[in-house]
Chain A
Amino acid sequence: MYAPILMHIPDGFLTIVVSLIFWAITIFMVSLAVSKTNQTLGEKQIPLMGVMAAFIFAAQMLNFPVAGGTSGHFLGGALAAIVLGPWAGILVMTAVVGVQGLLFQDGGLLVMGANIFNMGILTAVIGFGLYRLVVGRSRAVRLIMAGVGAWLATMTAAFLTSLELWLSGTTRLQIVLPAMLGVHALIGIGEALITVAALVYIEQTRPDLINPEKTVQEGGRGWVVGGVLLALAAVLISPLASSNPDGLERVAENLGFLSSGVGPNYRFLPDYTIPFLGDTSLSTILAGIVGVLVVLFLTILVGRRLSKPKKV
């Protein structure tokens, strides 16, 4: 059974450059999240976050009918960030996306950085940021903003996914962007409504888990800035992007390095020849051997490092 949430990008659909860019951002944010949660939460919170991650994973099986015969699925990034705080929410969603990719091949391994960013980090920033903005207001305002945040988070994730696919030369933006945004506009409504309904239930039964004081502690105003900016960016750029195909193609040509395969940039062994030997088969063979020796050497170095006895 496959959900219409085409957000788990498989391997091969993004180029190395795009994958690495998002890996860098994701590693940075997740490392920050790890250190923040270590500081503020005790060790008790790790089982909590683990079980919450299992909850999000399981909750994603809750389906609701969208239009026609299709059904949408709950993503949960915004809910996790609002209830658990943004940093814990990021860790929880990272674990969810990680296990989906590793264990169930829902999403690739090399492109997991992008997937984690789209579905875990982006949704946390926008979901929490917008909620935090109105944390001092009345309950109705908070709930409405939670819903709006969940919807915007879903849309922005869809927008960014389309952007990543386009930058990698995998699709044409004027085809993928309207499709993704259209489908996720509907799914996002479901996400928003479920998020709000869940928040209502949790606030009624466990008001100690979600209340304004706690939310203020979990994240500062920086999140508000980030969330608002990202949401605004998505809202403003997407209509422009879908309606100006020619301009986009020009941009794509200029950004050609992102979509073409990574060429050998470093002229260490130009065209696989040893420089002074010139373009002969002997030089190619020798260059190959040099390459292999370098790789072996690196592997042994890594191996030495890995085989150091583990300090318990």
Chain B
Amino acid sequence: MHVDLTDQYHHLDSRIHELDPRVKVLVAVAFILSNALLPDGSWIAFALSWMILLAANELSDLGLGFTLKRSLIALPFALVAVSAIFSPIGKPLTVWDLGFVKLIPTDAGLIRFLSIMLRSWLSVQMAILLVATTQFPDLIHALEHLHLPKTLTTIIAFLFRYLFVLSNEVFRVLRARDARSAGLPGVKSGGNFSWRIKTTGSMAGQLFTRSYERSDRIYQAMVSRGYTGHIRTLNPHRMVRADWLVLAAAAVIIVLIQLVGWIR
């Protein structure tokens, strides 16, 4: 769960930034889908995918290492996949006898683990690139164009708009708690367990009622400014030739990567 709520968008003027957000969403999803479709152990195809990613990094003027630096996000989850190394399918490589348990890594297990990590690593980088080159309101608008129900996209738009407002409320509330539970350095401050629970519950409840009442004021304010049910944007998002070319090129490249991956 992210505490870093800084804006993920990096404002630049690259060809990729200019692309229609629908294209970027579709290409990102297709890339991730392509990774998932590639069989375990198709190293050349994974390498090709990575090169496409690097090219996209470069074309977006963000620098070759941009997504690489931020790609360690999924690392803690890697622990989950470690046990795949010891799956019973495949040829055993060695035996690690730890006394209370015998661990037997297999070749298929190792290939599977590495493939999972590669897929995850490549996919998260593409997702990072997507939000770095697309402003979130445009992203929501693209989802609307792609036929996500308006109710849902409007909720997401409000979420984004008020997330930072409410996060500040949370920080305020947390600061208030800290200010009222001061203690000497090295000594645990605050009260006992039930105090903590009651306090956290009150904070959550307070936040809820403040948010609820705020939403009422927000709605009245919007209605008085002409809100009729959905959020309109000035940008009509028209697909131009460059968008179609990129879409077609991406399709071709992904098909080729799949061919490379599936032909042994």
Interface residues of A (CB under 8 A from B): 1-3, 5-6, 8-13, 15-16, 19, 30-31, 34, 37-38, 43-44, 46-55, 57-62, 64-65, 73-74, 79, 83, 91-92, 94-96, 98-106, 108-110, 165, 169-172, 175-176, 190, 193-202, 205-206, 209, 249, 261-262, 264, 272, 284, 288, 291-292, 295-296, 299-300, 303, 306-307, 310
Contacts and interface: CB of A to CB of B under 8 A. Distances in A.
A167 to B, nearest CB: 13
Contacts of B252: 292, 295-296
Interface in B214-264: 214-216, 218-219, 222, 229, 236, 238-239, 244, 247-248, 251-252, 255-256, 259, 262-263
Main secondary structure of the interface of B (DSSP, over half): helix
Interface stretch (B52-60, B77-85, B91-99, B178-186): B77-85
A195 B203 CA distance: 11
B202 interface: yes
Interface string B93-131: 000000000000000000010001111111110011001
B239 A206 contact: no
List the 8 closest pairs (A to B, CB-CB), nearest first: A197-B201, A50-B158, A201-B205, A12-B119, A12-B120, A11-B123, A51-B215, A55-B211
B46 to A, nearest CB: 11
Contacts, number: 293
A105 B77 CA distance: 12
A54 B162 contact: yes
Contacts of A46: 151, 154-155, 158, 229
A249 B76 CA distance: 26
Contact of B123 (A5, A12, A98, A198): A12
B1 A30 contact: no
A272 B214 contact: no
A171 B84 contact: yes
Given A50-B162, A61-B167, A169-B87, A2 B152 contact: no
Contacts of B117: 12
B3 A261 contact: no
B155 A49 contact: yes
B19 interface: no
A12 B203 CA distance: 37
A54 B159 contact: yes
A61 B170 contact: yes
Nearest to A53: B159
